[in-house]
A and B are shown apart, each in its own frame.
Chain A
């Protein structure tokens, strides 16, 4: 198991690559999902639209 994570001494490069890609892609998927939910909430209350608190 430890051998698998070491990747013949290249573990750092491989796992950093995969982790960065996973985080970037996950964020890219979730951001618009959350934005749409916020947008619907915002449009539902016209007197508390953008620019007002």
Chain B
């Protein structure tokens, strides 16, 4: 008896679905990340160098703060990334929690150290900017305190993952923590509006009258591109480690290991 093969639907939806499945497979993503992480790394280096040149050499001193404002070129991109990476981490962890996708958990786990590094940089550069500008390294102001809470959220998330031996249990518990901590993000963002803080308001998104010189805006935007490329490179490298470690019993990892 001849079996009739069921017709394969070739709608764009099923094609997208197949792509999604292939992309989500750890083996495929491991090699994909291996190709793209160095590319993003090179782009980050190029943009960092250009940003440093335009920010430290070309841009003029600020009429109020003199040269100390040049910390903005690393402080604002770091602070932005600290929040952006947290959202990426929480959303990815949430997807992993609901649909039980290993790759989503791996991405979330890999975001945390990168986000924590940017949060640390934002706090340190902010302190070093605060001293010559406000006369103090630290003040328990709403913006600064909520950013410090963000660092504790990252550290807490990583500590939780480290404490739970089982990768899946750890990922799921971490996802809950990451999602709860999401409430801190709008608090950081609006802290300069909701409370009367020492920290100044938005620099770039301020609409209406231009509030920043074009020679200062260009290096700032270049540095924004640089930190985003850096995040992609560093995060993908970490995802590769997570996948190798978690899939160590599979054939593709054995093939990677045996060259």
Interface residues of A (CB under 8 A from B): 4, 7-10, 13-14, 16-18, 20-21, 24-25, 27-29, 31-33, 35-36, 39-40, 43-44
How many interface residues does B have (CB within 8 Å)? Answer: 38
On chain B, the residues within 8 Å of A24 by CB distance are 117, 120-121
In the complex, A8→B129 CA distance in Å? Answer: 14
Q: Are the CB atoms of B121 and A21 closer together than 8 Å?
A: yes
Chain B stretch 50-87: residues in CB contact (< 8 A) with chain A: 52, 56-57, 61, 66-68, 70-71, 74-75, 78
With A10-B66, A28-B117: A43-B257 Cβ-Cβ less than 8 Å:
yes
Q: Are the CB atoms of A40 and B244 closer together than 8 Å?
A: yes
A-B contact pairs, 16 of them (CB 8 A): A4-B56, A4-B57, A8-B66, A8-B67, A9-B66, A14-B67, A17-B74, A25-B121, A28-B114, A28-B234, A31-B113, A33-B237, A35-B241, A36-B241, A39-B241, A40-B244
Interface residues of B (CB under 8 A from A): 41, 52, 56-57, 61, 66-68, 70-71, 74-75, 78, 113-114, 117, 120-121, 124-125, 128-129, 131-132, 230, 233-234, 237-238, 240-241, 244-245, 248, 253, 256-258
In the complex, A32→B109 CA distance in Å? Answer: 13
On chain A, the residues within 8 Å of B257 by CB distance are 40, 43-44
With A8-B61, A24-B121: A36-B129 Cβ-Cβ less than 8 Å:
no
